[in-house]
Chain A
Amino acid sequence: MKTQMVESAHREALVKQDRPFDPFDASLFWKPFRKNTRQRYDVLPFHPDYPELLKSCEVLAYLIRSYTVWEMTCGALGHPGGSFSEAECLAVLFNYVLRFDPQDPKWPMRDVFYLSKCHACPGLYTTLALFGYFPIQKLKYYGAWGSGLESHPDCIVTPGIEVSGGSLGQIPGVAVGRALGIRYNGPDHNDRMVYVLMGDGECNEGSVWEAFMAAGHWKLDNLVAIIDYNKVEAKGFLSQDMSIEPLADKLHAFNFQVFEAQNGHNVAELVDIFNRIGAQRKGKPTALILNTIKGKKVRECQYNPNWHTSAPRNVETAGMWLGELWDQDGRRLGIPKEFHLALKQAIEIVPPMHGNPDEIYERQA
Chain B
Amino acid sequence: MAQFVIPKRDETKEMRYYMGYALADLAYEYDRIIAVDADLRSSSGLHIFEHFHPAKLVKVGIAEQNLIAVAAGLSQEGYIPFPCTFDAFSRRFMDQLYVTVAYSNLNVKVLGAYPGLFTGKAGATHQSDKELGIILRIPNLTVIEPGCNLEMAQALRCSVEKHGPFYFRIVRCEVEYNEIFEGYQFEIGKGVTVYDEGTDIGLVSTGYMIRTAKIAAQKLTRRGIGVRVDHHPTLKPFDRELLYDLAKRVSCIITLENHCTSGGLFSLVAEALAVRGIGVPVGAIGTDPDDFIHTGHVNDLLYRYQMTSDHVVEKALALLGQKDKAQ
Contact = CB atoms under 8 A, between A and B. Distances in A.
Contacts of A217: 61
B69 A170 contact: yes
A207 B64 CA distance: 9
Contact of B66 (A112, A184, A210): A210
Contacts of A164: 99-100, 103-104
A178 B78 CA distance: 10
A171 interface: yes
Interface string B74-116: 1111110100000000000001100110011110000000000
B73 A179 contact: yes
A171 B100 contact: yes
How would you classify the secondary structure of chain B's contact residues: helix, strand, loop or mixed?
helix
Contact of A211 (B69, B77, B79, B99): B69
A176 interface: yes
Contacts of A155: 104
A170 B65 contact: yes
Interface string B232-244: 0000000000000
Interface-central residue, B65, B66, B73, B95, by most chain A CB under 10 Å: B73
A155 B63 CA distance: 25
Interface string B48-84: 0000000000101101011011111111111101000
A207 B65 contact: yes
A173 B103 contact: no
A174 interface: yes
Interface residues of A, number: 33
Contacts of A182: 77
B307 to A, nearest CB: 36
Interface of B: 34, 58, 60-61, 63, 65-66, 68-79, 81, 95-96, 99-100, 103-106
Interface of A: 112, 154-156, 162-167, 169-182, 184-185, 206-207, 210-211, 213-214, 217
Given A173-B65, A173-B70, A184-B77, 14 more contacts: A156-B104, A156-B105, A163-B100, A165-B99, A170-B69, A173-B69, A174-B70, A177-B70, A181-B78, A206-B65, A210-B60, A211-B66, A214-B63, A217-B61
22 contacts: A154-B103, A167-B99, A170-B95, A170-B96, A171-B100, A172-B69, A173-B66, A173-B96, A174-B100, A176-B70, A177-B75, A178-B73, A178-B77, A180-B70, A180-B74, A181-B73, A181-B78, A206-B65, A207-B63, A210-B66, A211-B69, A213-B66
